Amino acid sequence: MAKSYDVVVIGGGPGGYSCAIRCAQLKLKTLCVEKDELGGVCLNWGCIPSKALISAAHTWHNFHTAGDMGIIVGAKPTLDAPKMQAWKNGIVKKLTGGVRGLLKGNGAEIAAGTAVITGKNTVEITDREGKKETVEAKNIIVATGSTTIEIPTFKFDGKTIIGAKEAVSLDAIPKRLLVIGGGVIGLELGCVYQSFGAELTVVEATPTLLPGTDPDCVAVLERRMTKRGAKIFKSAKAMGYERTATGISVKLDVGGGKTESVETDVVLVAVGMRPHSKGLGLETIGVKIDERGFVPTDTYCRTNVPNVYAIGDVSGAPLLAHKAVKEGVIAAEVVAGHKAAKDWVAIPGAIFTDPEIAAVGMTEEQAKAKGITVKVGKMPFAASGRAMAVRETDGFVKTVTDAKTGQVLGMHIVGPSASDLISEGSLALEMAAFAEDIALTIHPHPTLGEAVMISAEHALGHAIDIMNK
């Protein structure tokens, strides 16, 4: 007799494991199926490994510039890339082990294998030895995430033509790195290896790096990358490559009928992610999949088939781990009969480049496009005592407000700890705060967080620490 569950969650990434844990907490009999490793892309070769390497890159840079503070490092620092990888892998192992412990501790079952939906209430699981088992499910939650897009002319070989998965696992620092794609993944990893000494080239097909990000924030990042020697080609395309005696020669279409060749040692293809919706059996039970491969859902994370849900990357943009986690919890509570829905005002985004960029809500341009007259407050980190003390004075906090009401419409930060500071902007949007609310809130001194308060004061025209407009 087939095992029966209230919920079968397909996928054990941030969305899937969070959903399964919450389902189990709500006393639903739950099975979480993962074909690779628990933690998904995020824990195993995405968010966590890349941030570990980013931290190492910052430490490496600080060693080399500590003399500015009067700290003289006696011997020249050396980089042990294999040891750094072992350290990174230790973090990943601890976190994925923690996920397994949380699932089991909350009462969810785990199956290692590939799941295929064979009916509205049946899922076939093939384990890693090829053994098949069919289980019954009152509800099915698809949390299969996304996977790296591969360019036909740059097929991955795992060593010199690589994707993000390989880029976080390099045992040697390339002398030259060419990144195809000026988006989040490409620039985060590009900044890492540039800090470690790689000559960096970035090729982006659109007219700007990080399309959709506040252009003032992008300009700060681009200046720093260029100052450190990066070559950046915008409105350009990588057409193909050939191997030479000294590396890889990549042919670029730089526009206007012109081409250029750039020689490199490693090519990182980072042109985005595509949803993992094929091969799951969704079509066999009539679940709608759009032309891009995403599974559309309603405000309750439901697909067009009532007992089938989709969460995280597979259900559409933004492809962010924290969005997946939130949707996982919502889906679990909906299945359990609780009141829950996707009712957020805005989802924050964080880009862990050097410097960091973080944003939530509307940019100036987006607000103006909606016919809103805006007032903008801007606090540069160059005027922050704390930023000076940590030697991170590039960037600013920008607060976008409605000129008529003072309500906060968006916040955009580039600079030190931007990813941590943006949470205050997220809270401001969720609670429909006004610039005055932030300005009247006492922030501790001396901190980077003061810049958020001062940017709100600046929007109101009475900042103390910088000149007002």
* 371-412: pLDDT as tens digits: 999 999 999 999 999 999 999 999 999 999 999 999 999 999
Q: What is the dihedral of CA 406, 408, 412, 418, to 10 degrees?
A: 120
* 422-459: pLDDT as tens digits: 999 999 999 999 999 999 999 999 999 999 999 999 99
Please, what is the average pLDDT of the chain? 96
At 72, the pLDDT band (50, 70, 90 cuts) reads: confident
- Catalytic pick among 276, 338, 443, 445: 445
Sheet of strand 237-244: strand arrangement: 237-244, 247-255, 258-264
Cβ neighbours of residue 98 under 8 Å, at least 6 residues apart? none
For residue 380, give both structure tokens: 């540069």
At 370, the pLDDT band (50, 70, 90 cuts) reads: very high
Question: Which pLDDT value is given to residue 205?
Answer: 96
> pTM for this structure?
0.95
Is residue 1 scored above 80 in pLDDT?
no
CATH 3.50.50.60 boundaries in the chain: 4-148+274-335, 161-271
* 85-99: pLDDT as tens digits: 999 999 999 999 999
Domain 161-271 has CATH 3.50.50.60: yes
Active site residue 445: yes
Strands (E), 296-343: 308-310
Give the SS3 label for residue 36: coil
Is residue 168 scored above 80 in pLDDT?
yes
Is residue 75 scored above 80 in pLDDT?
no
Is residue 469 scored above 90 in pLDDT?
no
In angstroms, the CA 382 to CA 65 distance is 18
User: How big, in percent rounded to 5, are the helix, strand and coil portions of the chain?
Assistant: 35, 30, 40
In angstroms, the CA 409 to CA 345 distance is 10
Class of domain 4-148+274-335: alpha beta
CATH code: domain 349-460 is: 3.30.390.30
On the question of a cis peptide bond just before residue 446, with omega within 30 degrees of 0, the verdict is yes
Q: What is the CA angle 169-96-309, rounded to 5?
A: 110
Q: What is the dihedral of CA 414, 415, 417, 418, to 10 degrees?
A: -10
DSSP letter at 55?
Answer: H
* 176-198: pLDDT as tens digits: 999 999 999 999 999 999 999 99
CATH 3.30.390.30 boundaries in the chain: 349-460
Q: What DSSP element (H or E) covers 155?
A: none
Question: Which pLDDT value is given to residue 390?
Answer: 95
